Amino acid sequence: MAIERTLSIIKPDATRRNLTGRINAKFEDAGLRIVAQKRIHLSKAQAGQFYAVHAERPFYDELCTFMASEPVVVQVLEGEGAIAKNREVMGATNPANADDGTIRKEFALSVGENSVHGSDAPETAATEIAFFFSGLELVG
């Protein structure tokens, strides 16, 4: 399998509870390398732009308000099949359906406040990485 890069976000419910290090340990234990990382506080407009694909969903406004409520940590993870591997480590969107040992099973508070974001395909990974990082900031 090819080496890939994927965009990850540690969401406000997790940064608020000081879980950044414990979540990063899950990524690293799974063989994912953190090749870029920064802590930022999104505006609601920026959150809305990032999640524009969900604009028609009933939870969109709640999601954007939540993502702008506290700082987030945005990061690029690199490794063999990193996009799918990260989705595995994250667990299902709704923590009630997430497998044991996943980030969402262990840390998520609800389907909305579910601790992490991860890209879902190569095209979205490329777009989402470019949304937050310049090429100079990706240090593999």
Residues in contact with ligand ADP by CB under 6 A are 54, 59, 62-63, 93, 111-112, 114, 117, 120
Distance, CA of 36 to CA of 45 (rounded, Å):
23
Q: Which of 117, 118, 125, 129 is catalytic?
A: 117
User: CB of residue 93 vs ligand ADP: minimum separation in angstroms?
Assistant: 3
45 C-beta neighbours (distance < 10 Å), count: 10
User: CB of residue 66 vs ligand ADP: minimum separation in angstroms?
Assistant: 7
Nearer to ligand ADP, 58 or 135 (CB): 58
Nearer to ligand ADP, 20 or 124 (CB): 124
Active site residue 41: no
Nearer to ligand ADP, 59 or 131 (CB): 59
The token pair at 75 is 């990061």
Distance, CA of 16 to CA of 23 (rounded, Å):
13
Give exposure, 67-105, as e/b (b: 16+ Cβ within 10 Å): bbbebbbbbbbbbebbbebbbebbbbeebeebeeebbbb
User: CB of residue 25 vs ligand ADP: minimum separation in angstroms?
Assistant: 20
Catalytic site positions: 117
